[in-house]
Amino acid sequence: LRKMSQSGQAMAHLYVDLKPSSKYWDKRSGLTEEQWVQRLESTTTLYVGNLSYFTTEDQITELFGKCKGLRKVVMGLNRFKKSPCGFAFVEFQTHDQAASAVNLINAAVFDDRQIRVDFDAGLTDGRQFGRGETGNQWRDDFREDYDAARGGKGAGLLKRLAEDPSRQVYVGKRKIDDSAVPNKRHRGEQPRVKQQDDGRQLPASFGRSKGGKGQR
């Protein structure tokens, strides 16, 4: 009995570790941060990130269809080309079914990429399109590396300062806000903002990290 009890405690600890906790807030959703957090407690919608541009809706449907209650899949599209750009929204019939899908699929390797599955407050018109300058996601506009599964070489709209390599400057044409900051997704704090010579305001956290895991 003692062994069974210890085993049960280990399983309970494992479940707590797997239970997701999202701190992302989409300011353009029309919801306050408090309303967004409240929605997450009962939402049936999931966000799926770090997908290959070549992953199809049928593939995502097949993957999440292994979980009970799948209702629909909405592909994330390039705002201009209307082609897949590496993310999707997946809706289930109940919150519990959505939670099970997160626990089972988050961080899984799918189509040769480790994907991220997280709760989302709900899909509204326009959120299925990339918000970056190129029409893709900001993370692909910012990066400079080559990723064959995500459109090849990134747009490189963040350039390192020669006098301070730890910092980067946004060189694009569109005005950006906090929601585009790399790694902002899992941090609750507000970034400091510095004024650039050309008048654009950039969060001071630009350049500290370009990891894609914390971005949408």
Q: Is the pLDDT of residue 200 over 80?
A: no
Check residue 101 and give its pLDDT: 97
> In this structure, which amino acid lies at residue 66?
K
Output phi, psi for 138, to 5 deg.
-55, -35
* Cβ–Cβ under 8 Å, residues 17 and 111: no
**pTM of the predicted structure, to 2 decimals:** 0.73
pLDDT of residue 22: 65
Question: Which range among 28-32, 69-73, 109-113, 171-175 shows the weakest confidence by mean pLDDT?
Answer: 171-175
Residues of the chain with pLDDT > 90: what percent?
A: 58
With a cut of 50, say whether residue 17 has pLDDT above it.
no
Distance CA 10, CA 2 (A): 12
The pLDDT, as a whole number, for residue 13 is 40
DSSP E strands in the chain: the ranges are: 45-49, 70-77, 84-92, 109-110, 113-114, 116-120, 146-147, 152-153, 158-161, 164-170, 193-195, 201-203
Q: If you write DSSP's letter for every residue of 142-153 in order, what string do you get? A: H--SEEGGGTEE
- Looking at mean pLDDT, say which of 156-160, 178-182, 206-210 comes out highest: 156-160
Taking all residues of the chain, what is their mean pLDDT, rounded to a whole number?
Answer: 79
Burial class (CB within 10 angstroms; exposed 0-12, middle 13-18, buried 19+) of 137:
buried
* Angle, alpha carbons 183-164-203 (nearest 5°): 35
* pLDDT, tens only, 27-45: 888 899 999 999 999 999 9
